[in-house]
C-alpha cells in the first residue's frame, strides 16, 4: 500500500505538470490528447472502481448488520453517526462563510458579470429523496446504484440473516465469500490507480487553463484554506477528544484513500478503497465501517459544504449583494440539506449550489464564474468528504469498543 500511495502521489504531480504543459500546446492538440488519451484512461479507471461499489456496499452492510450482537447497538451507532455528520457539516459551513467573509475573494470589480450565463439543472427535491429511501423494488435500487435505498435493503437483509441464524448460515457464508472476492478485486483495481490519477488530474488542470486559474486564485485559496482548517481543527479535535486517539495516526493511515478520493472526485466511487483502508489500516471493525462509510459517502459532504458556503459568499460579493444574518442562517440550513442531497459523484455539489443561491435570492448565473475551476476543487473537496466519513467511522468504532471493553490504544 505504501508503495502504491507513493506511485499515486508521483502520478498526481506528473499529471499536474502535464496539465500545465498542455496549456502551451495548440487547442487542437489538447483536444486530441484529452479526447483520445486522458479522458478515456481516466474514465476506464473510474468505471473499474465504480463497478465494485454496489456489490461492496450491499454485501458489506448486510454482513455488518448480520454480525451486530444486539439490535440496540445498531440504533446507537446510527444515532452517533448522524449526529456527527450533521454537527461537522454545520461547522464546515461556518468555517467556509467566515473565511469568505474575511478574505472577500469576490470583492467588487474583479468580474464583469454582464455576460455570465448558466443554465441551472433542476436540483432534486430533498424531501423526495428522503421519502424514496425505502425502494418499492430492491432490484431497481441496485441497478440504479441508489445508495440510500441500497443501505436500507441491505440493513433489512442483514437483520433477517441475524434473526434466522443457523437456518440461513449458507447465505451468510455466501456473502462472506462474495466479500472476499470483492476485496480481491479492490486490490487488483488499485494497481491501475496511478494511471487513472495521472490522466484525471492532467485533464482537469489542462481544462481549467492557467489564465482561468489565476483569476480565480483567491476563491480557490479560500476553499483550500477551509478544507485544511476543517481537517486540521474539526476532525483532529474530534479524533482526539471523542475518539481518544492520535489524529496523526489517523491521517497517516488513511492517506492512501485520500489520494484516491482526490483522483476520482467521487465519494461513492472511492468507497471500496476507503472502507478497506479504514478496516485494514485503522482497525475499524467491519460492522461499523460498512455502515458508517457508505452512509457518509451518500449524505456527509463537509468539503462540498465548504465549497457551497464560499461560493455563495463569493457570488454575493461579485454581484455586490450584502447578506444579512438571517440570510446567512438560511445559507447554513439550505447548504446542510444541499450537501446531504449531493450524490457522491463528480460535480453534483455545484448543481446543488443552485438550491442555496435560489433560497437567498442570489443570481444562479454566478455559477458560470466558478465553473471553470470546479473540477479541481471537486477533487479537493471529495478528499475531505471521504476523510470525514472515515473519521466518523473511526470515532464511532472506538467508542463502541470502549463500551464493550475491547478498545486498544490508537
Ligand atoms: N464530488 C463530490 C463527492 O463525490 C460531490 C461534489 O461536491 O460534487 O464527494
Q: Among 132-141, 148-157, 211-220, 323-332, name the one with the lowest average pLDDT.
A: 211-220
Q: For ligand 1, is residue 222 a contact (CB within 6 Å)?
A: no
Q: Which CATH class is domain 2-404?
A: mainly alpha
Q: For ligand 1, is residue 302 a contact (CB within 6 Å)?
A: no
The span from the CA of 149 to the CA of 203, in Å, is 33
In terms of Cα–Cα distance, which of 32, 39, 37, 21 is closest to 210?
21
More confident residue, 132 or 100: 100
3-class secondary-structure state, position 349: helix
pLDDT per residue as tens digits for the range 148-173: 788 889 989 999 998 998 999 999 99
The span from the CA of 263 to the CA of 193, in Å, is 8
- Would you list the DSSP string of 58-127? HHHHHHHHHH-S-HHHHHHHHHHHHHHHHHHHHHHHHHHHHHHHHH-TT-TTS---TT----PPPPPPHH
CA 401–ligand 1 middle distance (angstroms): 31
Question: How many of the other CB atoms lie within 10 Å of CB of 130?
Answer: 13
The span from the CA of 67 to the CA of 154, in Å, is 13
Name the H helices within 345-366.
Answer: 348-359
Q: For ligand 1, is residue 269 a contact (CB within 6 Å)?
A: no
Q: For ligand 1, is residue 301 a contact (CB within 6 Å)?
A: yes
Residue nearest to atom 3 of ligand 1 (CA): 344
| Domain boundaries defined on the chain | 2-404
Q: CA quadruple 222, 224, 228, 230: dihedral positive or negative?
A: positive
CA 242–ligand 1 middle distance (angstroms): 26
Q: What number does the ligand 1 atom closest to the CA of 386 have?
A: 9
302, 346, 380: which to mutate for ligand 1, most atoms within 8 A of CB? Answer: 346
Residue nearest to atom 6 of ligand 1 (CA): 349
pLDDT per residue as tens digits for the range 59-116: 988 988 887 767 778 889 999 999 999 999 999 999 999 999 999 998 766 666 666 6
pTM for the complete prediction?
A: 0.86
Q: For ligand 1, is residue 342 a contact (CB within 6 Å)?
A: yes
pLDDT per residue as tens digits for the range 4-49: 788 888 998 999 899 889 888 888 888 899 899 999 998 898 888 8
Decide if pLDDT at 410 tops 60.
no
Amino acid at each position: 500500500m505504501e508503495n502504491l500511495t507513493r506511485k499515486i502521489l508521483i502520478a498526481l504531480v506528473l499529471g499536474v505538470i502535464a496539465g500545465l504543459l498542455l496549456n502551451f500546446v495548440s487547442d487542437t492538440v489538447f483536444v486530441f490528447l484529452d479526447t483520445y488519451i486522458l479522458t478515456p484512461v481516466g474514465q476506464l479507471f473510474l468505471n473499474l472502481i465504480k463497478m465494485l461499489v454496489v456489490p461492496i456496499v450491499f454485501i458489506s452492510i448486510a454482513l455488518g448488520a448480520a454480525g451486530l450482537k444486539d439490535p440496540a447497538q445498531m440504533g446507537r451507532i446510527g444515532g452517533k453517526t448522524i449526529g456527527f455528520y450533521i454537527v461537522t457539516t454545520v461547522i464546515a459551513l461556518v468555517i467556509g462563510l467566515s473565511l469568505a467573509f474575511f478574505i472577500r475573494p469576490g470583492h467588487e470589480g474583479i468580474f464583469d458579470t454582464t455576460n455570465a450565463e448558466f443554465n441551472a439543472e433542476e436540483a432534486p427535491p430533498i424531501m423526495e429523496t428522503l421519502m424514496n429511501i425505502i425502494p418499492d423494488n430492491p432490484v431497481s435500487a441496485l441497478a440504479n446504484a441508489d445508495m440510500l435505498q441500497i443501505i436500507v435493503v441491505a440493513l433489512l437483509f442483514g437483520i433477517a440473516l441475524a434473526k434466522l441464524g443457523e437456518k440461513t448460515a449458507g447465505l451468510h457464508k455466501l456473502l462472506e465469500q462474495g466479500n472476499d472476492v470483492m476485496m480481491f478485486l479492490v486490490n487488483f483495481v488499485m494497481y491501475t490507480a496511478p494511471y487513472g490519477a495521472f490522466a484525471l488530474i492532467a485533464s482537469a488542470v489542462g481544462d481549467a487553463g492557467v489564465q482561468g486559474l489565476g483569476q480565480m486564485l483567491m476563491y480557490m485559496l479560500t476553499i483550500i484554506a477551509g478544507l485544511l482548517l476543517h481537517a486540521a481543527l474539526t476532525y483532529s479535535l474530534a479524533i482526539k477528544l471523542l475518539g481518544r486517539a492520535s489524529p496523526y495516526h489517523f491521517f497517516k493511515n488513511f492517506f492512501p484513500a485520500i489520494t484516491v478520493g482526490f483522483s476520482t472526485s467521487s465519494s461513492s466511487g472511492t468507497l471500496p478503497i476507503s472502507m478497506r483502508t479504514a478496516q485494514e489500516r485503522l482497525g475499524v471493525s467491519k460492522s461499523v465501517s460498512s455502515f458508517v462509510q457508505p452512509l457518509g459517502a451518500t449524505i456527509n459532504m463537509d468539503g462540498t459544504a465548504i465549497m457551497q458556503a464560499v461560493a455563495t459568499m463569493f457570488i454575493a460579493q461579485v454581484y455586490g449583494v450584502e447578506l444579512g444574518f438571517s440570510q446567512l442562517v438560511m445559507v447554513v440550513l439550505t447548504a446542510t440539506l444541499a450537501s446531504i442531497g449531493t450524490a457522491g459523484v463528480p460535480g453534483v455539489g455545484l448543481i446543488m449550489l443552485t438550491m442555496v443561491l435560489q433560497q437567498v435570492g442570489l443570481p444562479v448565473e454566478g455559477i458560470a464564474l466558478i465553473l471553470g475551476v470546479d473540477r479541481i476543487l471537486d477533487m479537493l473537496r471529495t478528499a475531505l468528504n471521504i476523510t470525514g466519513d472515515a473519521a466518523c467511522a473511526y470515532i464511532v468504532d472506538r467508542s463502541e469498543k470502549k463500551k464493550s471493553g475491547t478498545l486498544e490504544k490508537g
